[in-house]
Amino acid sequence: MTSLQPFLSWIAGLILFFLSGIHFYWLSRGQTNGNKVVPTINGKLAFQPGKFATVIVGILLCMAAFLPIGLTFENPFGVPKFLFRDGVFFLSFLFLLRTIGEFRLVGFFKSIKGTPFAEYDTKYYSPLCLFLSLLLFLSAI
């Protein structure tokens, strides 16, 4: 591990913890401006995220945060280090897929544009996913 990799791992882990926290905030306080965080089709939300889905995403992001952070320890949580490394590579791949998108509602190659979500996705969400993908990849190599 190079001297920069632990720093990159911690940055990625902290970003994932922060994103997890946002989901738990939405769970406890509700969310406003749903059309900026959920894709819309013809002015209607593409899906209605429920509390269960929100808590699952929050938990998964929190668990994902431990993977890059675990890389910085010699014997992370008693788990073989290669599992953390492989998990971080997998996360990097997932965030790269999210960056590319599914060619309709999310990602840089989405076809539905001109909505509040599409604008936020292009300016913030997809670049953040690309940044996370790069951080995770560099922390695992």
User: Would you state the structure tokens that stand for residue 94, as one six-digit string?
Assistant: 């997932």
Structural domain containing residue 108: 5-140
Alpha carbon 136 to its chain centroid, in Å, reads 11
Question: Is 32's pLDDT higher than 70?
Answer: no
pLDDT in tens, 60-109: 999 999 999 999 998 877 899 999 999 999 999 999 999 999 999 999 99
Question: Nearest Cα to 9, choosing from 133, 141, 139?
Answer: 139
Q: In total, how many domains does the chain have? A: 1
pTM across the whole model: 0.93
Question: Is 35's pLDDT higher than 70?
Answer: yes
Question: Is 17's pLDDT higher than 70?
Answer: yes
